[in-house]
Amino acid sequence: MNGVHDLGGMHGFGPVVREQNEPVFHSEWEKRVFAMTLTAMGRGVCNVDEFRRAIERIPPAKYLAASYYEKWLNALEALLVEKGAVTPEELASGRAGAPAPATAAESPGGGVDSFDDSAIKLRFNQSFKPGFKVGDRVVARNFNPAHHTRLPRYARGKRGVIRYDQGVFVFPDTHAHGQGGKPQHVYTVVFEAQELWGPDGERAPVYLDCWEDYLESDRAAAKPATGGAAKPAIRSAAKTSGKASARKPGKLFGKAPNKSSGSTSGKSSIKTSVKIATKAPARKAVARKGGTSAKKPMVKVAAKTLAAKPAVKFAGRTRTAVRKGSKKR
């Protein structure tokens, strides 16, 4: 969605105003909105992508005028109604029209005591093969969807290099619209300042996380004439998939091989009839390899994941998802 929330690179907002000794919250109601929102997400009323989308739907003038937690309040009210948790009449009157569900009141507050580690499990699920690898040259898609997306406008159509493979995450573009998790790899892509802003830009590269569906192989860079080191995404995915699945999760954080631009590695004598990596072949591979845990069930898990994620209790928790999730290491 080309909304006013997509602020990167815009001008005219003036200096950054900082408050000395800023409190965590500025009023009592901000605290309640914060906590009710986390609880609603913990209860699965909405997931975090739906919540972000609800904020982005606030009309531009209102978005810019509202304080942060006013935006949260707007989004929370809208989602509670949209998801059928409350009716518009109830919201207007502040009184419940129907009796409360019997079991709900006994819960301590939205599963705050339980931590759902399925997002972490999904992240390291090796049945989702990466279509790209560190060092690949890519182009961020040039698209302008009306739906929720996490690819900011300033990066669309721009060329970059994959610096990290961060693992598997649900896809916000579908997850925000009740269309499933569509899990896929997320890559940290480096975009040079000149590529993003032209000659007048400050020379600072931007490291941006891009879901695989946001990326295409940079075919121009793959041509030998340009000296690019890109490899055909599908081929390399197939070639490295064995290695990738043998990798320990921690290696996802590993340093990228330092491929400077123009250094043509000996192996990049690639056929130029390279296919752009699209999701379709990757999905098929998943379905084949994943056996029973193929597309559908995975998506379900993922959907549950983010819904339950924010509700976590900090104090007194000894066992944690990360520890559980990484036992195998």
Partner 1 sequence: MSDGHDHHDGNDHHNAPLSEPAQRVKALEQLLVEKGLVNPQALDELIDTYEQRVGPRNGARVVARAWTDPEYRNRLLDNAARAIEELGFPPGPQGEHMMVVENTPHVHNLVVCTLCSCYPWSVLGLPPVWYKSTAYRASAVNDPRGLLKEFDIDVGDKEIRVWDSSSEMRYFVIPERPAGTEGLSEDELAELVTRDSMIGSGLAKPPASRSS
Footprint (CB under 8 A) of partner 1, residues 208-237: 208-211
Tokens 């800023």 sit on residue: 22
Angle subtended by helix axes 28-42 and 48-56, to nearest 10 = 130
Please state, in angstroms and rounded to a whole number, the distance separating the CA atoms of residues 312 and 315.
9
Binding residue for partner 1, selected from 59, 62, 68, 82, defined by CB under 8 A: 68
Alpha carbons within 13 A on the beta-carbon side of 95? 2
What is the Cβ-side half-sphere exposure of residue 242, based on CA atoms within 13 angstroms? 2
Span from 189-197, 226-234, 271-279, 288-296 in contact with partner 1 (CB under 8 A): 189-197
How near is the Cβ of 300 to partner 1 at its closest, in Å?
Answer: 18
Nearest approach, Cβ of residue 285 and partner 1 (Å): 22
**Which range touches partner 1 (CB under 8 A), out of 4-12, 131-139, 265-273, 290-298?**
4-12
Nearer to partner 1, 232 or 325 (CB): 325
Q: By C-beta, is 140 or 229 nearer to partner 1? A: 140
Contact positions with partner 1 (CB under 8 A) in 34-53: 34-36, 38-40, 43, 45, 52
Per CB under 8 A, the list member of 46, 54, 58, 76 interacting with partner 1 is 76
Q: Name which of 98 and 246 has its Cβ closer to partner 1.
A: 98
**Using CB under 8 A, which residues numbered 114 to 133 contact partner 1?**
115, 119-120, 123
Residue 51 is inside which H or E element, if any?
helix 48-56
Question: CB-wise, 22 or 292, nearer to partner 1?
Answer: 22
Bridge partners (DSSP) listed for residue 189: 162, 208
DSSP sequence for 80-118: HHHTTSS-HHHHHHSS-SSPPPTTGGGSSSSSTT----H
* Nearest-angstrom CA–CA distance, 259 and 204: 18
Burial class (CB within 10 angstroms; exposed 0-12, middle 13-18, buried 19+) of 250: exposed
Residues 6+ apart with CB under 8 A from 265: 229, 259
Per CB under 8 A, which of residues 161..180 are in contact with partner 1? 164, 166-167, 169
Of the pair 249, 281, the CB lying nearest partner 1 is at: 249
Copy the structure tokens of residue 202: 């400050």
Using CB under 8 A as the binding rule, the residues of this chain from 7 to 36 that contact partner 1 are 7-11, 13-36
* C-beta of residue 233 within 8 angstroms of C-beta of residue 131: yes
Query: Site residues for partner 1, window 78-117 (CB under 8 A)?
Result: 80, 85-86, 90-91, 94-96, 100-101, 103-105, 107-110, 112, 115
Query: What residues from 231 to 270 belong to the interface with partner 1 (CB under 8 A)?
Result: 249-250, 253-254
Which of 115, 231 has the CB closer to partner 1?
115
Please identify which residue in 82, 145, 147, 322 interacts with partner 1, judged by CB under 8 A: 322
How many CB atoms are located within 10 Å of the residue 259 CB?
18
Rule CB under 8 A: say whether 315 interacts with partner 1: yes
CB 266, min distance to partner 1, A? 29
Half-sphere exposure of 321 (CA within 13 A, CB side): 20
